Structure 1
Amino acid sequence: MARQRSHDKRVLVIGLGRFGGSLATELVTHGWDVLGMDSMSRRVQAFSEILSHTVIADSTDDEALRQVGAHEFTRAVVAIGSHLEESILTTSLLVDMGVPHIWAKAVNRRHGRILQQIGAHHVVLPEHDMGERVAHLVSGRMLDFIEIEEDFALGKTRAPREIIGKALGESGIRNNYRITVVCIKRHGEQFTYATAETVPQKGDIIMIAGKTKDVEHFAEQD
C-alpha cells in the first residue's frame, strides 16, 4: 500500500505509558486515527476502547512493526522512555522503514542526542521541558515560558512600566533588550498581534520572543 499524503490523519504511537497514553488520547480527541502499540497487554487493554486501534507487539522486532503496517504511516511517536535500548532500536527501525515524521521521547539530553543521531526528526524531553518551564514561573515574573529550540524562547509576562504608554516602535525595546513583542492581551480581551503602533497599557499581558537569556532578562523588569 502506498504511503498516504501528508494530510493523512493517522499516527502510530508506540509505548502507552503515562506520556504515550496521554498523547494518544489527546490526538483522538482532535480527530486523529491512532494506532496504539505496546508490548504490555494490560496497557493495551486499558486503551482498547479509547484509541482507534490497539495492538500488543514488540516494537524492537522489525517483522512485528511491518505486520502492523508501521512502514505505511507518515507519522509515528516513540513514547518509550525508561527502556533506552528499546527506544533507540524502535526509532532506528522506523527510520530504516522511511517513516517521514518521527517523534521520540527522551529521558535526558544524552538520550535525545542519540535519538537525533540515528534519525529521529523531533526529540521530546517532557520531564526536562516541564521542569524548566515551571522553574521559570516559580523564580520570576514570567507567566508562561516555552523554549522553542535551544537558546530561543517565547515568554508570557506583564508589560513593564518602561513600555507602558509608548508605541512599541518608539520604545526602543528591540534595541535595548533584543526581544520582540509578538502579541498583546488586555483585560477581558483576547490576544491580538502587536505592531509598531501598539501602545501597551498598565496590566496588559504580552508575549515576547528572543534568545532565552534576553527573554528572561526582560521578564525581570518591573
Structure 2
Amino acid sequence: MASNDKDRQGVLVFGLGRFGSALADTLDSMDIEVLAVERDPDVVERWSKRLPCVEADGADPRALDQIGAADFAAAVVGVGTSLEASVLITGNLVDIGIPEIWAKATSVEHKRILERIGAHHVVLPESDAGARVAHSVGGTMLDYIDIEDGFTIVKMRTPKETHHFTLDKLGLQEKYGVHVVGIKGPGRAFEYATPDTLLGPDDILVVAGEGELLERFAKRP
C-alpha cells in the first residue's frame, strides 16, 4: 500500500460499459494514467487494444490487492447493472483508502447508499444530463453544472442590461448574488473576468453561484 497520497498516481475505472469505457478512453487520450478493471473477458479483449485494462472482480478485495489498487490516486466505479457489485467495489475502495472515489448511481436510493459508505462523489449520468438540457432549452443558459450543495456554474449569454458596462460598474455580486468567473468574446478565447471586464451583447459568460440565484439572473432580459 502506498505510504501517503503523494505516492499515488493514476485512475482506476471499474466497468467498461458505455459510461466507464467513455470515461477511461477520454482519460487515456488526455495522457492520464488509467487502468480499466472489467469482469467480462470478452469486453477486456475488445478494449485491450485501445487502453490498459485487466480482467478482475473489484468486489473481491484480493483482486484489488493483486492489481495494486491501493497505489492509485483516484477510482471511478462505473458499474451500473448490479447495485450489489457497485456497493461492494465502492466499499472495498473506501477500505483501502483511495483518496478520491467517484461512483455512478442509477437511482437516488443507489446514490444515497454510495454516499453513506464513503464515496466522495456520486453521479447520476442520465439525471444530470437531463437537468443540464432542461436548463438550456429555450433559455439564455448554454450549459449548467450543479457542483454540490446548491453551488452551480453556468455558461450563458449576457443579459441586455449588462451590455457595455464593466463588472465593477454592474455590481452583480451585490445585486444578484452571482459571480462572473470568465468571459468569451466573439473570435476570442475564454479569459478570466476582472473588475474592468467590459460585457458586450455577443459575449458568453461563465457565472458561478447558488442555483436559484443563477436562474433569476439568467432570466433577465
TM over 0.5: yes
For 2:38, the aligned partner's letter is D
> What is the match of residue 41 of structure 1?
41
Q: Quick one: distance in 2 between partners of 1:3 and 1:36?
A: 23
- Cα distance change of structure 1 residues 6 and 79 upon mapping to structure 2, 3 Å threshold: farther
Aligned to 2:93: 94
Which amino acid in the other structure matches residue 36 of structure 1? A
Aligned partners of 1:183 and 1:193 also within 8 Å:
yes
State the shift of 1:80 in Å. Answer: 0.7
Q: Which stretch of structure 1 is more off in the superposition, 127-136 or 106-115?
A: 106-115
**What RMSD, in angstroms, separates the aligned Cα atoms of the two structures?**
1.8
Hey, what does 2:127 align to over in structure 1? 128
Cα distance in 1 for partners of 2:57, 2:26 equals 24
- Corresponding residue for residue 216 of structure 1: 215
Describe the shift of the 1:71–1:192 C-alpha distance in structure 2 as closer, same or farther (beyond 3 A).
Answer: closer
Letter in 1 for 2:57: D
Change (3 A) 1:2 1:156: closer
Cα distance in 2 for partners of 1:70, 1:2 equals 10
The aligned residue for residue 200 of structure 1 is 199
1:117-156 counterparts in 2 under 5 A?
117-156=116-155
Aligned counterpart, 1:25: 25
Instruction: Give a deviation string over 1:132-185, Cα, whole Å, max 9, x none.
Output: 111111142111111111311111111111111222212232222111111111
- Taking the aligned partners of 1:27 and 1:4, their CA distance within structure 2 comes to 23
Alignment partner, residue 64 of structure 1: 63
- Corresponding pairs, count: 221
Q: Mind listing any 5+ residue stretches in structure 2 that lack a counterpart?
A: none
**Where in structure 1 are there 5+ consecutive unaligned residues?**
none
Structure 1 residue 3, shift from structure 2 partner: 5.1
What secondary structure, in the 3-state scheme, does the structure 2 residue paired with 1:113 have? helix
Aligned residue identity for 1:38: E
Q: Which runs of 4+ in 1 moved over 4 A?
A: none
Q: Which letter does structure 1 place at the counterpart of 2:146?
A: E
User: CA separation in 1, counterparts of 2:44 and 2:169?
Assistant: 58
2: CA distance, partners of 1:217 / 1:114: 33
Output the TM-score relative to the length of structure 1: 0.92
Q: Is the 8 A contact 2:144 2:152 kept in 1?
A: yes
Alpha-carbon separation, structure 1, partners of 2:106 and 2:32: 26
Aligned to 1:78: 77
The Cα of 1:123 is off from its aligned counterpart by 1.5
Post-superposition CA distance 1:191-213 (Å, at most 9, x none): 12222222212211111111101
